Homo-oligomer: A and B are copies of this chain.
Amino acid sequence: MKPQIVTFLIKCPDQKGIIAKLTHFFYSEGFNIISSQQYTNTTSAKFFMRIRLAVDNSVLLSKEQLGESFSKLAEAYQITWSVDYGRKKQKVAIMVSHTSHNLYDLLHRHKEGKLNCDISMVVSNHEKLKPIAEMFGIPFYYKLVTRDTKEEQEKSLMELFDSASIDLIIMARYMQILSTGFIAHYENKIINIHHSFLPAFQGANPYKRAYERGVKIIGATAHYATEDLDEGPIIEQGVERVTHESTPTSLKKIGADIETLVLARAVNCHLNNQIIVDGNKAIVFPETGE
C-alpha cells in the first residue's frame, strides 16, 4: 500500500537555525521526511519550505494533534502555513467560454489519472462546450452573463462552487473579467491561462498583436488570478519559435499547444502542493522523485 503523504507549505521570516528547527520538529513527532525543499529570499529575508512526510502506522499523532502541535511552533517563528494530509483529492471546477483545447486536454489528463484531483464541474457562459463535458461525464453548468447580470452571475457561481466545496478554479480560456470581490473570495485558488508570454501582450488579442509586432517566439502564461488583469503570480510559461510565414491563424494553432501544456503543468504543480505564493510571485518547487 502506498503510504500516506503529508505536505506542509511554510513561509516565515528567515532566521538562524530555521531548517534545523523545522526538520527536528517533524522528526521528533515521528515522521519520516521524504523530501524537504527550501528557498530563502535574501532580499526580503523570507524563508519558504515544502516538506513532505511519510506517515506510517506507528504514528499515533492524529491529524488534529499534528495541526495543534505545529501551530505552537508556527506561532513562535511567525510561520504562515498550510498542510495537505493527502487523504482526499482536491475538487476542481473548470471555467470555459468558446475555446475547447484546454478543456479537452484537462479532461483527458483527468480521465487518464494524470491529474491528482476530482473535476467536479465545467462551468461556462456559453453552451457551446457542453458536449465535451458530457463526453467525459462531467456535469456542465451554463451560466449566462451580460453586462447587467454580471454581479448576479458571479454570486451564483460562488454559491455553486462553495456548495460543492471547490478547492481550485481553472480558467481554461474563460473570456470574462472576474470582479475583485470574486477573486478575493478565491485567493490563490484561481489559475488562469493567458495566451501570451507575459508581460508581453497583456490584454486582448495577443496572437494578432504578436503577428503585428513580428516576434520570432510566442508563448503562454499560467498565473493565479488577481485583481489586476494578467498581473497575478506567474506559475508557468512556455514558448515556441515562429517565423515570418506565421499568420494570426497559424500563431493561434501553435499557441494552442503551448497553452495546453503550460496550463496542465501549472495545475499539476498546484495540485501537488508545489507552490507558495509570495506577493506577486509564485515560488514553484520542482517535483521530487519519491
Contacts and interface: CB of A to CB of B under 8 A. Distances in A.
Contacts of A35: 38, 40
Interface residues of A, number: 71
B214 A236 contact: no
Contacts of A64: none
A216 B237 contact: yes
Nearest to A105: B108
- Copies of this chain in the oligomer: 4
Contacts of A20: 20, 23-24, 26-28, 33
Interface stretch (A67-75, A83-91, A151-159, A239-247): A239-247
Greatest chain B CB density within 10 A among A100, A234, A235 is at A234
A157 to B, nearest CB: 26
B24 A243 contact: no
A253 interface: yes
Interface string A55-74: 00000000000000000000
Contacts of A198: 200, 213, 215
Nearest to A214: B281
